[in-house]
Structure 1
Amino acid sequence: MDNSSIHKSLLRSRGSGHAYVRKTPRFVTLAKWILKIAMWALFTLWVALLYVFPTDFGSNLFEQWVLATKENVFGVAGSFFLLFSGPIVIIALLSVAFLIISGKEELHEKKTSKNLSFHLWTFPVLVDGPFGVVSAAEFIGILLFVVFVVWAVCSYTVRILSSLSDDLTFKEKSCLFLEILGLRFGLIGLFCLSFLFLPVSRGSVLLRLINIPFEHATRYHVWLGHLTMLLFTMHGLLYVVAWTIEGDLLDEILEWKDVGIAILPGVISLAAGLLMWITSLPPVRKLNFELFFYTHQLYVIFMVFLALHVGDFLFAIAAGGLFIFILDRFLRFCQSRRVVDIISAKCLPCGTVELVLAKPENLRYNALSFVVVQVRELSWLQWHPFSVSSSPLDGKYHISVLIKVLGKWTEKLREKIMKSSKDVQCSAHNKITASVEGPYGHEIPYHMMYENLILVAGGIGISPFLAILSDILHSVRQGKPCLPRNILIVWAVKRSDELPLLSTINMESTCPSFSNKLNLQTHIYVTRESEPPLEEGKVQSCINSSLCPMSKGCGMSILVGTGHNIWSGLYFISSMAGFVILMGLLDIFYINPFNISTWWYKGLLFVACMVASVFIFGGFVVGLWHIWDRRISAKEQCEDNRLKVDKAEHTETVAHNDSDHESIANITSIRYGERPDFNEIFGTVSQNWGHVDVGVIVCGPPSLQSSVAKEIRSHNIRRQCSDPIFHFNSHSFDL
């Protein structure tokens, strides 16, 4: 297809879209604003405290705080926890209230605003570099962390140098300086550690509050992990250098004090952290992902021995984020115990596997969600994340994922399905059972917030866009408030055998005459073939094999952090209350009466109380939640024909794909031996769509994301008054 055809296919925006707007009572809106202001004020004060703490003024304030609060029942550990971890816990509690009162609010239509504006979280600032694509908001966050670390190190260095006595020899001054500076590096590392576990708490109320899905937050964990381990490495290295100069390195390393810092546990903790750090570096992770995954489970050793190393009150600095992570981890463990029905499995000719999993009607997700799947017949340890390829409007009782065969685990899965499809009797030997965590993702379907969408996919990255497209088509057919009206899909694939993935969604059946209601165009680039092997533009049927239901379990568990707001809120509140109760009882009946003063032992008791509170108090709520889930599921199972009907609908959709080929061909152009020219694509959109907001969502390898982000940044900087503003959004999962 020539360049002019692309220009013709990109129609101007009709300007008649509608947006999703929350219709809420005034008192609810007021309550939400009060909660937002309270959370922002608390967070700002918390950050200000961290910045002031390295100064003399901050140290004096801290000493006064400890003197004023250490007489409480929790002692010094309570003072440290309330000052450093308390703000994040309180913000999480306020987040629970915010999510509960937000609830499922009624949606109604409102005209789109004519005022265009840049958004800090969708404007790419850094594109090529060690951080990948970084938005303006992310850049501000990185800058704040870097400035804090540099400021704290400089402030501590000046204070240490000014405090050294002139009576000491140069050697004594050097060793004392290295030891005190090493101590300060460890303290700064604890401050960074307080944030480290927040991004990997998949369903935490904090991520849901700011609407950051886990697949985005993992990169924040990666950045923080590198920074934290760098600080802890410097902490240990400075001590090693000082002890080497003094000549007692071995004695110091093996020391395990009862009162004071226990060195040996710190060495063990640092060794575990270094092993995790080394195996998480990109070259090692890409070469052997399983090595990275298994060694990363050493975080348990890292945190437990860190508590033994510093004791309870210093460990309390980073305890808030860890507690939220333990809450999420226990809930994931409970959810993953259930065996989930695999309604159907298909092997597509391009080497992609489609799994259709059973789910209860009341399990919420959106088109940009993802699930983490374990197949026990392949491995009891490996969990793999996959984007959802179905819309919640496709069916009430199923959820679909597309799995590209790229490694050993996916290859074994395809072979297992192929063998099972040939097994007429579906013997137990070829049975496949699945366990699922999730779904996780955005709290709201943000793809519905744009009237104009550009979806850029690379290979299997088309999977979430199929869900988006299905979501939009269903909404248009049902007459729901649906903002997207102009959609351009740009899909780059290596070979043409991947093209049938596009036919896994039956557009004409989903929304008859959709081309009259939706301006949809698809441009496909087959990069490694110079000419079409078949008739150009024809999308072939994709079904190669399918099989009978493979397990006799049930639907996915609704025990997920992004699920029922009230239950997840009760789970958090009860666990936090349980932690306070256990710590109080421990201090009243054991630590204070028996005068327990051993630092490492009190650190161990502190961690034990955190874990026990989640298992006992949080576990009680999870048990009630599970009973409630079983009752809801029992009602659904009383009408088991619903699931069969839903499955039949899914099968019917696939069976009628042939009738949809002509509609797909009319909106699809295919180029062979070319890569997308994003300068041309965005230039054409600028000319034809005019002065509008354009949401750009990219799902593909980092190189594709960088290319798109670079063009968006360039066009936004050079834009004229009549040009659109492009908003960059990425959807990927790269651990």
Structure 2
Amino acid sequence: MDEHSIHDSLLLRPEDVSDYAKKSPAWASLVKSILRSLMWGIFVAWVTIIFIYPCDFYTKLNTKFLLSIERTLFGITGAVFLLYSGPIIVIAILAILYLIIRGDEELQEKKTSKSPRYRLWTFPIIVDGPISVITASELIGISLFSAYVVWASSVYLLKNFHIVLSYQLAFKEASIKMLELMGLRFGAIGMFCMSFLFIPISRGSVLLRLIDIPFEHATRYHVWLGHLTMLIFTLHGLLYIVGWALDGRLLEEILQWKNIGIANLAGVISLLAGLLMWVTSLHPVRRQYFELFFYTHQLYVIFVVFFALHVGDFVFSISAGGIFLFMLDRFLRFCQSRKTVNILSASSLPCGTIELVLSKPSHLKYNALSFIFLQIRELSWLQWHPFSVSSSPLEGKHHMTILLKVLGEWTDKLKGNVSNILDYKHDVKQSQPRLSLTASVEGPYGHESQYHLSYENLILIAGGIGISPFLAILSDILHRIRDGIPCMSRNILVIWAVKSSDEFPILQTLNIQSICPNHSDMLNLDIQTYVTQQSEPNLENGKMNNCVYSPIFFTPSKQGISSLVGTGHMVWSGAYVVVSIVGFIATVALLDEYYINPFSIQCWWYKGLLFVACMVASVIVFGGGVVGLWHVWDVKNSKREAKKYDGQKHANSMITDSRVLEEETVGDSMGSLNNIHYGRRPDFKGIFKSVSDSWGCVDIGVIVCGPPSLSSSVAKECRSHSFSRKQNHPILHFHSHSFDL
């Protein structure tokens, strides 16, 4: 292959420069550097405060600070919020400014190293552990949290020994006192863990966008933090229960609800709700009884509210920052999901996979590794299921495609509904039967940057329906090559493991030949399919089964996916966050000025309830006002698009034509690219060795989408390759795109 032809084909056309090669001016780069430094400085200071919190010298400084501003408008609650929740709120505001200034810079515009190098976030360290694959950067994070818990527990234990010994109590009384003090200390540790607990679960969080961690990865961190937090809170409760039982006042203490001080009964209710969530979230229960896990997890509302009643407003404000950002995300998701979305077409593949084409506005942006949460109201009003997007954002401005494999009760019901509509179409001989599926969508979510475009060499490893996001990647790269948009990819190896050849039609949903007929001159693409439970081909003699599309309904594209999403328009979503924060501060100030201070409200649990009410009210009233204006802007934008987008029938026919494949063309195109191996599994050690010998000393992005066992196997070989790597061999960068709730 001629290197010059590759280079020339990836050059921008003059008309594309304004859209795809916007370079930041000098002032923007300077401002971004300042913002990055500020955010890092605030974060390091915040973490430092958390680490030194148990120390005596900090306790004295903290007490002096709180007493000095006790009589101000916000009082101790405001001071505690400023110290422990304020940093994460300020970082969120700075992140909004940073993302707005950064704009839509393409990842491939960033300078890349001439020689390959290791990266902490793509280097797998633990591959066979109980919590799946852990990279070096994740291990550092786990180590920091573990170090904090051990450090804080040790410091508190020593302090408690000194306190108990100073009382000169009998052994039983000393033991009870020690248990209660350690219970109190574990409660403090748990509150700081809870400060981080809700941040990863905010799907469109500006913080996740800032550090470019997609929600499917952040969910793992929420799970880990959830286990740690509930373990600590369980110890907190058990130590108190044992101490009270030894002292003979267990029932009295459990039922106690003080006005001044800790409300024990509220804490018991909060802990019970947390334990129910924790038990049903354990992997065996979650896997076998997902609906039980899903519905029980809605008890987080009870958990948070009664936690605030338990500790009061000023203690609750330690963890309030992360909870408030989660509330902002949850309300925005609620607003987006109220809108119904048109299903432009539904197709049933011979292998049982369903393809849905959803309507979307052209200004709703996503990338090739995005996913959405889908609800079909005819199936359930409560269940939401995540699906990877299988179409490139360059494939069409007004539609988005997803593939659904029938793997459970919900998808089986969907297949039944689609089949019923198809039967109706054939019976009445109508080309456009009435739509009987109503969809709602949350998202799209995913990586902020399109990291797959930063690699010249890619290995895409999929298991079964895990090929879906890779179809989007291939489509995206082919469209970029065809349209002259910057794209570094030159060598792509696709490894696809399936149980039987019945799965082949999934691959045929991507019409490579029609997207970029001359792709072989610009891209070295190789597809290796492994059929693990079939020793020989079917009667077709190894030839891929032709894909037969059966579009069963089409509807006007007036109702697209709502753009009210945290990963959408940065200015609007930023305004929503900032106005809500300002509204929260104003609401608390008004409450203090005209109610709490004048009437000398001292009841801890009541003030905790008012604090939570202020958080909710600021999100709904102030944030809701911005969302309303955002919705009006979205509607006007959609109407403007509709005028430019002449004729809905013509639009639908274009979509239909693009999705209904010509069997012979597709079969020939995919057949020439696909090498099929029957009766065996991929030998990743041999595959990586072959690639190392042929591709040389380069960076290779290895992206895996499939079951946890597949991710672990690939990560193990990536790690082994890294440890035994020769100087002239490539560095493999491991990425997992699996979503495992």
Q: Same fold (TM over 0.5)?
A: yes
Amino acid at match of 1:530: S
Amino-acid identity (%): 59
Shift of 1:512: 1.2
Aligned to 2:123: 123
How do 1:51-70 and structure 2 match up within 5 A? 51-70=51-70
Q: Does 1:474 align with 2:479?
A: yes
SS class of match (1:532)? coil
Q: 1:709 aligns with which of 677, 691, 715?
A: 715
**CA deviation string 1:619-643 (max 9, x = no partner):** 0000000000000111223355465
1:12 is displaced (CA, Å) by 12
Give the whole-Å Cα distance in 2 for the aligned partners of 1:23 and 1:675: 45
**1:385/1:642 Cα in 2 relative to 1: closer, same or farther (>3 Å)?**
farther
The match for 1:243 is 244
Q: Distance in 2 between matches of 1:12 and 1:708?
A: 31
1:11–1:689 Cα contact (<8 Å) kept: no
Q: TM-score, with normalisation over the residues of structure 2?
A: 0.95
**Alignment partner of 2:150: what SS?**
helix
Per-residue deviation, 1:644:
4.0
Paired amino acid for 1:122:
T
Measured after TM superposition, the shift of residue 541 of structure 1 is: 2.5
**Worse-matched range after superposition: 54-63 or 483-492:** 54-63
Q: Does 1:33 align with 2:39?
A: no
Paired residue type of 2:489: P
Q: Aligned pair in 2 of structure 1 residues 94, 552: CA closer, same or farther (>3 Å)?
A: closer
- How far apart are 1:733 and its partner, in Å? 1.1
Take 1:15 and 1:729, find their aligned partners in 2: how far apart are those partners? 26
Asked if 1 retains the 8 angstrom alpha-carbon contact of 2:108 and 2:487, the reply is no
Structure 2 residue aligned with 1:3: none
Which residue does 1:132 correspond to in 2?
A: 132
Does structure 2 conserve the Cα–Cα contact (< 8 Å) formed by 1:403 and 1:410? yes
Q: How many angstroms apart in 1 are the aligned matches of 2:246 and 2:712?
A: 48
Which position in structure 2 is the counterpart of 1:261?
A: 262
Q: Assess if the C-alpha contact under 8 Å between 1:13 and 1:452 holds in 2.
A: no
Summarize deviations over 1:85-141 as a string: whole Å, max 9, x none: 000000000001001111134788688531221111000011111221011100000
After superposition, residues 674-689 of structure 1 pair within 5 angstroms as 674-689=680-695
SS of the residue 1:655 aligns to: coil
Per-residue CA shift, 1:27-81, capped at 9, x if unaligned? 1001000000100011011111111111112212221221233232111111110
Match of 1:343 in 2: 344
Over 3 Å counting, the alpha-carbon distance change for 1:277 and 1:175 in structure 2 is same
2:375 corresponds to 1:374:
yes
The CA distance in 2 between the partners of 1:372 and 1:45, in whole Å, is 36
Once residues 265 and 140 of structure 2 are traced to their aligned partners in structure 1, the CA distance between those partners, rounded to angstroms, is 38
Q: For the residues of structure 1 that align with 2:645 and 2:37, how far apart are their CA atoms? A: 48
- Kindly state the Cα deviation for residue 205 of structure 1 after the two structures are TM-superposed: 0.5
Against the structure 1 CA distance between its residues 713 and 536, is the aligned structure 2 distance closer, same or farther, given a 3 Å change threshold? farther
2-structure distance, mates of 1:428, 1:108: 45
Q: Which residue of 1 aligns with 2:539?
A: 534
Name which of 459, 484, 509 aligns with 2:464: 459
Unaligned 5+ segments in structure 2 are: 12-19
Find 1:620's aligned residue among 606, 621, 625: 625
Q: Deviation digits for residues 636-694 of structure 1, max 9, x if unmatched?
A: 23355465444333322332243122122122111111001000000111100000000
Residue 656 of structure 1: which of 643, 655, 662 is its match?
662
Asked whether the equivalents of residues 12 and 688 of structure 1 are also in contact (C-alpha less than 8 Å), the reply is no
Residues 426-470 of structure 1, C-alpha deviations (whole Å, 9 max, x = no match)? 899861010001001111111101000000000000000000000
**In structure 1, distance between residues paired with 2:231 and 2:556:** 47
Instruction: Please give the alpha-carbon distance, in whole angstroms, between the structure 1 residues aligned to 2:363 and 2:151.
Output: 49
Q: 1:11 to 1:257 in 2, by over 3 A?
A: farther
Moved more, 180-189 or 532-541: 532-541
Letter in 1 for 2:124: P
For 1:719, the equivalent position in structure 2 comes to 725
CA contact (8 A) 1:503 1:657 kept: no
- Greater CA drift, 544-553 or 690-699: 544-553
CA distance in 1, matches of 2:137, 2:379: 41
Select 2:585's aligned residue among 580, 586, 589.
580
Give distance in 2, aligned partners of 1:545 and 1:243.
68
- Which of 496, 502, 514 does residue 507 from structure 2 map onto? 502
> Residues 132 and 400 of structure 1: is their aligned pair in 2 closer, same or farther, counting only changes over 3 Å?
same
Distance in 2 (CA, whole Å) between partners of 1:457 and 1:204 is 28
TM normalised by structure 1 equals 0.96
Give the superposition deviation at 1:22: 6.4
Counterpart-to-counterpart distance in 2, 1:591 and 1:172: 39
Query: Distance between the aligned counterparts of 1:121 and 1:108, measured in 2?
Result: 18
**1:659 aligned partner, one-letter code:** T
Deviates more, 1:626-635 or 1:649-658: 649-658
Q: Which residue of 2 aligns with 1:286?
A: 287
**Hey, what's the Cα distance between the residues in 2 that align with 1:112 and 1:273?**
46
- Measure the CA separation in 2 of the matches of 1:669 and 1:238: 62
For 1:241, give the aligned amino acid.
V
Q: Following TM superposition, by how much is the alpha carbon of 1:513 offset from its aligned partner in structure 2, in angstroms?
A: 1.6
CA distance in structure 2 between the partners assigned to 1:29 and 1:469 by the alignment: 32
Equivalent residues in 2 for 1:255-654 (5 A)? 255-424=256-425, 431-543=436-548, 545-549=550-554, 554-639=559-644, 641=646, 643-653=648-658, 654=660
8 Å contact from structure 1 (residues 213, 442) kept in 2: yes
Sort the Cα spacing of 1:12 and 1:695 in 2 relative to 1 into closer, same or farther, 3 A. Answer: farther
Task: Determine the C-alpha separation between the residues in 1 that align with 2:177 and 2:649.
Answer: 74
Letter in 2 for 1:156: Y
What secondary structure sits across from 2:481 in the alignment? helix
Aligned letter for 2:352? G
The 5 Å alignment of 1:130-209 reads 130-164=130-164, 165-209=166-210
Question: 2:14 aligns to what?
Answer: none
C-alpha contact (below 8 Å) 1:262/1:308 kept by paired residues? yes
Q: How far off its partner does 1:167 sit?
A: 2.4
3-state SS, counterpart of residue 695 of structure 1: strand
Give the conservation status (yes or no) of the 8 Å contact 1:397–1:643. Answer: no
Aligned pair in 2 of structure 1 residues 641, 22: CA closer, same or farther (>3 Å)? closer
Q: Retained in 2: the 8 A contact 1:339–1:553?
A: no
1:729 aligns with 2:735: yes
Aligned to 2:100: 100
- For residue 545 of structure 1, give the secondary structure of its aligned residue in structure 2: coil
Cα drift, residue 507 of structure 1: 0.3
Task: Measure the CA separation in 2 of the matches of 1:57 and 1:115.
Answer: 48
The letter of the residue matching 2:36 is K
- The secondary structure found in structure 2 opposite 1:423 is helix
Kept in 2: contact 1:372–1:384 (CA 8 A): yes
CA distance in 2, matches of 1:108, 1:297: 41
What SS does the corresponding residue of 1:373 show, helix, strand or coil?
A: strand
The CA distance in 2 between the partners of 1:444 and 1:110, in whole Å, is 11
Q: Is the Cα contact below 8 Å between 1:359 and 1:399 reproduced in 2?
A: yes
Q: Structure 1 residues 543 and 206 mapped into 2: Cα distance closer, same or farther (>3 Å)?
A: same
Q: Is the 8 A contact 2:108 2:453 kept in 1?
A: no
- The equivalent position to 1:692 in structure 2, one of 680, 698, 708, is 698
Does the Cα contact within 8 Å between 2:511 and 2:661 map onto a contact in 1?
A: no
Kept after mapping to 2: 8 A contact 1:340/1:435: yes
Range moving further from structure 2, 58-67 or 206-215: 58-67
Deviations 1:195-253 (A, max 9, x none): 00000100011000001110110000000000000000000000000000001100100
Aligned equivalents of 2:455 and 2:318: distance in 1? 41
SS of alignment partner, residue 23 of structure 1: coil
